[in-house]
Amino acid sequence: PRYSRIAGTGSFLPPRRLTNATLAAELAAQGVETSDDWIVERTGIRARHFVDAGVNASDLAVQAARHAIEAAGCAATDIDLIIVATSTPDMVFPSTACIVQHKLGVAGCPAFDLQAVCSGFVYALTVADSMIRTGAANRALVIGAEVFSRILDFKDRTTCVLFGDGAGAVVLEASATPGILASDLHADGKHVGILCVPGTVSGGQVLGDPLLKMDGQAVFKLAVGVLEQAARATLEKAGRTDADIDWLIPHQANIRIMQGTAKRLKLPLEKLVVTVDQHGNTSAASIPLALDSAVRSGKIRRGDTLMLEGVGGGFTWGAVLLDF
Ligand code: ACO
């Protein structure tokens, strides 16, 4: 049998860091009122990173990819598949993955973007795993990269305080022993309206609203239930139980959703990997950013069993269970 396993992880945050207090002061100057207390209490977020003008998702993705390739002990030329999960691509087309491929100085291997908003990384990891198991690829670069600061409405305090920019990556390679054990992906398009950027480009201009809209309470209500279902489905497929999970790495959107999921899976909060406090919600980048930070801090070790779970616009959701 042929499996896939994570050979290395990497991540990158743009240097400009805004604490809640800094952001609140900038927003106050535009007549928008918020506070560190409100943001921390409702979301657990204390700071986020934003790119400077002119920096694109591919720039963050390339840095994260280089770190992952180095950690995997291979070279960019060994990569034979590139998937970038992003909802904030550099261009309408071509894909950010093609731009990343060129910036890495390689050519020839297939490269494409995958758009599943905040579930993008678990979707991309599942696609890469499938392609490796069928023999279509041997060593895949799977990246989540976002510049959500570009699509935030800074006049809407209910959304602009929640998101950040960043990228995370893994090198996933063919293996005789299982790394990825099971995954479970879903979507339900009837919820398009509760979390979307409704605008598009047409006739040389932006058609419709190009900024993020979210019904936070509707998202919240859906999130905890579907995350538990997806996690349980992967455990069942892999023949494992809650007790086998060493680390839960949920999409980092809101600490209350994350703790709610851990509780439903009967996991002690010490097993929850948390970076939302320092990164905010980085959409498709949040899971690989959290994974890399926990690997580099020595929390996650080789052999640990990890539950990755994503939920986001679409509505999309899913989970991946793996032995690291
Ligand atoms: N600062 C101060 N006050 C605020 C702010 C703010 N930034 N934002 C909203 N408020 C006010 C509201 O105006 C409201 O005031 P009112 O009671 O006088 O009308 C009050 O705070 C409560 O607002 P709610 O929207 O009810 O606050 P809630 O407790 O629902 O928290 C939040 C909002 C944090 C968005 C929450 O609903 C949430 O986290 N939802 C899930 C969002 C999520 O996870 N999204 C990401 C998943 S998918 C993806 O990542 C793309």
pLDDT digits (tens, 9 = 90+) for 27-75: 999 999 999 999 999 999 999 999 999 999 999 999 999 999 999 999 9
Q: Cα(46)–Cα(37) distance, rounded to whole angstroms?
A: 9
Structure tokens at 297: 């801090």
**Which protein residues are within 6 Å of ligand 1, measured from CB?**
34, 38-39, 42-43, 117-118, 157-158, 161, 195, 216-217, 219-220, 223, 253-254, 257, 281, 283, 311-313
Specify the pLDDT at position 322: 98
Protein residue closest via CA to atom 29 of ligand 1: 42
Assess whether 11 and 159 both reside in one domain.
yes
Pocket probe mutation, ligand 1, options 27, 42, 213, max atoms within 8 Å of Cβ: 42
Assess whether 144 and 185 both reside in one domain.
no
Assess whether 295 and 167 both reside in one domain.
no
Q: Determine the distance separating the centroid of ligand 1 and the alpha carbon of 29, expressed in angstroms.
A: 21
Average pLDDT in the chain: 97
Q: Determine the distance separating the centroid of ligand 1 and the alpha carbon of 42, expressed in angstroms.
A: 7
Q: Cα(29)–Cα(318) distance, rounded to whole angstroms?
A: 40
Assess whether 139 and 213 both reside in one domain.
no
DSSP string computed for 197-263: ---EEETTEEES--S-EE-HHHHHHHHHHHHHHHHHHHHHHHT--GGG-SEEEE--S-HHHHHHHHH
* CATH number of the domain within which 252 lies: 3.40.47.10
Average pLDDT of the segment spanning 144-153:
98
Structure tokens at 24: 């609140």
Strand pairing category for 200-202 and 247-250: unpaired
pLDDT digits (tens, 9 = 90+) for 85-127: 999 999 999 999 999 999 999 999 999 999 999 999 999 999 9
Domain hosting 186: range is 180-323
Find out whether 122 and 185 touch, Cβ atoms under 8 Å.
Answer: yes
Assess whether 93 and 142 both reside in one domain.
yes
Find out whether 260 and 140 touch, Cβ atoms under 8 Å.
Answer: no
Global confidence as pTM? 0.97
ipTM attached to this prediction: 0.92
Q: Determine the distance separating the centroid of ligand 1 and the alpha carbon of 33, expressed in angstroms.
A: 13
DSSP structural state of residue 51: P
b/e 97-115 (16+ beta carbons within 10 angstroms → b): bbbbbebbebeebebebbb
Assess whether 150 and 284 both reside in one domain.
no
Assess whether 138 and 287 both reside in one domain.
no
Assess whether 192 and 268 both reside in one domain.
yes
Assess whether 48 and 147 both reside in one domain.
yes
Q: Which residues contact 125 (CB under 8 A, 6 or more apart)?
A: 142, 170, 172, 180, 183, 308, 320
Pick the last residue of a domain from 175, 203, 233.
Answer: 175
Assess whether 160 and 236 both reside in one domain.
no
Q: Determine the distance separating the centroid of ligand 1 and the alpha carbon of 13, expressed in angstroms.
A: 25
Assess whether 192 and 84 both reside in one domain.
no
Report the number of distinct structural domains present in the chain: 2
Protein residue closest via CA to atom 12 of ligand 1: 158
Catalytic residue list: 118, 251, 281
